[in-house]
Structure 1
Amino acid sequence: MFMTYFNVGEIVNTHGIRGEVKVLATTDFTEERFVPGQVLYVSQKNSSPVKLTVKRHWSQKQFEILAFEEINDINEVEKYKGAQLQITSEQQSPLEEGAYYYREIIGLEVYSLEDELLGTISEVMETGANDVWVVKRPNGKEVLLPAIKDVIKKVDLEQQCVIVDWLEGLDEQ
């Protein structure tokens, strides 16, 4: 059976000599993803993901520090520098109604209420108050679209599109 994996962090370096790693998290759910006992997979180019079990986790500055049951010294973990930490699709938490994973939003076509193609979502930026979707226009320019109810009218994952109330002045940046 083919398994789908999703990135939750990147191992950016080793930490200490007991096989701990410094991880730059790419998940909003660090407390859930990195709890002791949680299973993660480390994925490197051209090889099958390796299953690892979290032994310890703590945060340090902007990084997450992880130790794994299967790794006991720096030599065993050195080869994973730059590798992605992943989870399987079965490990993903369902999101509340109206919430989406970034990977579901990026690539969607954006249409106005008048059914005019406005562009494609190329990136999601976190700003604190609300996310901002970067829309690449057909002319190559980018427009920042606030992901708020007044602007985003419908997200249709089946049709791979978003319907928006295109505010006057958005294109004049």
Structure 2
Amino acid sequence: MKASKWVPVGRVSRTHGIDGAVLIVAYGETLGERRSDERLFVCLPSMRIPKALTIEDIRPHGRQWRVRFREVRELEAAQALVGLEVGVPEEELPALDDGEYYHYQLVGLRVETVSGRFLGTLKEILESPAHDIYVVEDERGREILLPAVVDVIRDVKLEENRVVVDPPAGLTDDL
């Protein structure tokens, strides 16, 4: 049987209270779709295989999610999770509509202009209230921020490992 690919859906930012609850910053919307009795996985530094944790309670808390796990009942156990990513097996991700992608599918792709000029590699995706922002790092370590809007992100070609963009005038002049 083939091993599942583990996909990060958030990062534990801090503990919440003294009874083992944690706050998680979500990557996208997948975490908010999880329910009680479903599992999230965490990969502790000492482990090679992610450990399953059962969600006892999950609810929004500002811009994060407050999560209580059945297996985590004390503050000390919750503190051990701070800074770690939580994820799900790839096959448990909800299906997306055409033209929609998960962050993990995009990070690492080559970013090129519509004319074929290589700008760099998609390093990170930042979420903002208006739209996502793609952080592209060039070969010299410089970053440019591209708004993830239709006028800028022209095409995503997963099979070719690249994103085609039409950056706003002047944004890439110094590259």
Quickly name the TM-score band, shorter chain normalised. Answer: 0.7 to 0.9
Equivalenced residue count is 172
Within-5 A mapping of 1:145-156? 145-156=146-157
TM-score, structure 1 as length reference: 0.80
In the aligned structure 2, how far is the partner of 1:150 from the partner of 1:63? 29
How far residue 15 of structure 1 moved from its aligned partner, in angstroms, is 3.4
Match of 1:55? Answer: 56
TM-score, structure 2 as length reference: 0.79
Name structure 1 gaps, 5 residues minimum. Answer: none
Within-5 A mapping of 1:1-173? 1-33=2-34, 35-47=35-47, 48-74=49-75, 76-172=77-173
How far residue 140 of structure 1 moved from its aligned partner, in angstroms, is 4.2
- Residue identity in the other structure for 2:41: Y
In the aligned structure 2, how far is the partner of 1:54 from the partner of 1:22? 13
Query: Structure 1 residues 98, 20: closer, same or farther in 2, change over 3 A?
Result: same
Secondary structure of residue in 1 paired with 2:160:
coil
Which shifted more, 106-115 or 14-23?
14-23
Tell which structure's C-alpha radius of gyration is larger. Answer: 1
RMSD (Å), alpha carbons: 2.6
Secondary structure of residue in 1 paired with 2:86:
strand
- Residue identity in the other structure for 1:44: L
Which shifted more, 66-75 or 150-159?
66-75
In the aligned structure 1, how far is the partner of 2:146 from the partner of 2:132? 9
In the aligned structure 2, how far is the partner of 1:12 from the partner of 1:139? 31
- Residue identity in the other structure for 2:90: S
In the aligned structure 1, how far is the partner of 2:44 from the partner of 2:28? 19
How far residue 159 of structure 1 moved from its aligned partner, in angstroms, is 0.8
